[in-house]
Amino acid sequence: MSNILIGITGGIAAYKIPQLCRHFLLNGHNVKVIMTENAAKFISPLTFESLTGNRVYTDDFEIYIEPENIKHISLSEWADIFIIAPASANTIGKMANGIADNLLTSSILAYDSAKPIVVAPAMNSKMYKNKIFQRNLEVLKENGFHIIEPITGILACKDEGVGKMVEPEDIYLYCKQFLKKSDMLKGKRVLVTAGPTIEHIDPVRFISNRSSGKMGFAIAESAFENGANVTLISGPTLLKTFVHKKEVSSADEMYWEVMNRINDIDILIMAAAVADYKVENYSEEKIKKSSENLTLKLVKNKDILKEASKFKRDNQIFVGFAAESHNVEKNAINKMKEKKLDLIVANDISRKDIGFDSNDNEVNIYFNSGDKIKIDKMDKKKVADKIIKIISDLIIR
Ligand X SMILES: Cc1cc2nc3c(=O)[nH]c(=O)nc-3n(C[C@H](O)[C@H](O)[C@H](O)COP(=O)(O)O)c2cc1C
Active site amino acids:
157
- How far apart, in whole angstroms, are the C-alpha atoms of residue 220 and residue 365? 18
Nearest distance, CB of residue 101 and ligand X, angstroms: 9
Q: Is 269 left (phi over 0), alpha (psi -120 to 50) or beta?
A: beta
Cβ closest to ligand X, residue 159 vs residue 393? 159
- How far apart, in whole angstroms, are the C-alpha atoms of residue 150 and residue 140? 15
- How far apart, in whole angstroms, are the C-alpha atoms of residue 227 and residue 277? 36
* Dihedrals phi, psi of 258, to nearest 5 degrees: -70, -50
Cβ closest to ligand X, residue 135 vs residue 330? 135
In DSSP terms, 374 is beta-bridged to 364
Nearest distance, CB of residue 24 and ligand X, angstroms: 21
Cβ closest to ligand X, residue 87 vs residue 349? 87
* Dihedrals phi, psi of 126, to nearest 5 degrees: -70, -40
141 is in an annotated binding site: no
286 is in an annotated binding site: yes
Nearest distance, CB of residue 130 and ligand X, angstroms: 11
Nearest distance, CB of residue 89 and ligand X, angstroms: 4
Nearest distance, CB of residue 119 and ligand X, angstroms: 12
339 is in an annotated binding site: yes
Q: Give me the helix-helix angle, 103-110 and 89-96, nearest 10°.
A: 40
Please provide the distance, in angstroms rounded to a whole number, between the alpha carbons at the two ends of the chain: 27
Helix spans in the chain (H): 17-26, 39-42, 45-52, 71-78, 89-96, 103-110, 125-129, 131-142, 168-176, 214-225, 251-259, 304-309, 328-338, 380-396
**Which residues, 6 or more positions from 305, have their beta carbon under 8 angstroms from its beta carbon?**
270, 318, 320, 339, 341
**Residues contributing to the site for ligand X (CB under 6 A):** 9-12, 36, 38-39, 88-91, 122-123, 127
Are 81 and 27 spatial neighbours (Cβ–Cβ below 8 Å)? Answer: no
